[in-house]
Amino acid sequence: MSGKLKDRVAIVVGAGSSGPGWGNGKCTAITFAREGAKVFCVDLKRAAAEETVGLIEKEVGPGVAVAHEANASHNASVKAMVDACMARWGRVDILDNNVGIGSQGGPVELSEDEWHRVFDVNVKSFFLTAKHVLPIMERQGKGAIVNVSSIASIRSPKGISYLAYNASKGAVNSLTMAIASQYAEKGIRCNAILPGLMHTPMIDFLAEQYAKSEKDHNQAYEKMIAIRDRASPTGKMGTGWDTANAALFLASDQSSYVNGHLLVVDGGITLRA
């Protein structure tokens, strides 16, 4: 540990994983704790947040992390989340937003309800967390917000239709830049990470769902993972730790002059047509 976040308090929203393994939020929460931060681990499922806290306590020690259950797309729940963090540690130095869902379909196939559901989780939640954290950071005179977007916000490969997801992540980029511009003079930075193809529990879940419909389940799962690996110029998908390391850079003073930036973490996929 180098202590890049020593004495800072970080709220990580989406700090649990959707299944066994290492998701972006879990890896980020652990990385922040390793670097000296006190981490308020928030997840829709309390058990997922508690698992992350347990891993932190086992590695770093007790009293460094707290689990909290909240729905980031509900205003009252977000306010209670921030209030609980303030009651515990009295400040918020870092806000890291990791929640996100997808829904397949184009403008004709996608239902209006699904459109709203994706935007509530992927965009409204980032708006609400910023709404309640920014006044605290403004009083402190300093703060860093890291939003997890996606390369889907800047590209849409032929044959893949995730309209609401793509559009919502594009909105996250705009929200990030708008906050960065408005709060720069107040010592608050806001940046976004655009991960590419990452091997996370969510991808394992989707691969397993696909494999269930195939005759040879194991072969179908391995085939889907292999396809995603080959799509990267590196020959392998990234991991939640790659996202976490980018988040550490953007949350720390090492990026003190980086504001409103969309940091692509994709192994070079977006270099391809």
Distances (CA, A) of 187 to 165, 226, 259: 31, 44, 10
Q: What share of the chain is helix, strand, coil (3-state, %, to 5)?
A: 50, 15, 35
Task: Give the list of residues 6+ apart from residue 61 with CB closer than 8 angstroms, or none.
Answer: none
Task: Give the list of residues 6+ apart from residue 207 with CB closer than 8 angstroms, or none.
Answer: 221, 224, 225
Tokens for 132, please give them.
Answer: 């309640």
Say if residues 203 and 178 touch (Cβ distance below 8 Å): no
Tokens for 152, please give them.
Answer: 């889907």
Say if residues 148 and 100 touch (Cβ distance below 8 Å): yes
In whole angstroms, give the CA distance from residue 229 to residue 227.
5
Residue 87, burial from CB neighbour count under 10 angstroms (0-12, 13-18, 19+): exposed
| Active-site residue, from 165, 183, 210, 257 | 165
Task: Give the list of residues 6+ apart from residue 113 with CB closer than 8 angstroms, or none.
Answer: none
3-state DSSP assignment of residue 2: coil
**In one letter, which amino acid is 97?**
N
- Residue 180: other Cβ atoms inside 10 A: 19
Please confirm, yes or no, whether 221 is among the known catalytic residues. Answer: no
Active centre residues (catalytic): 165
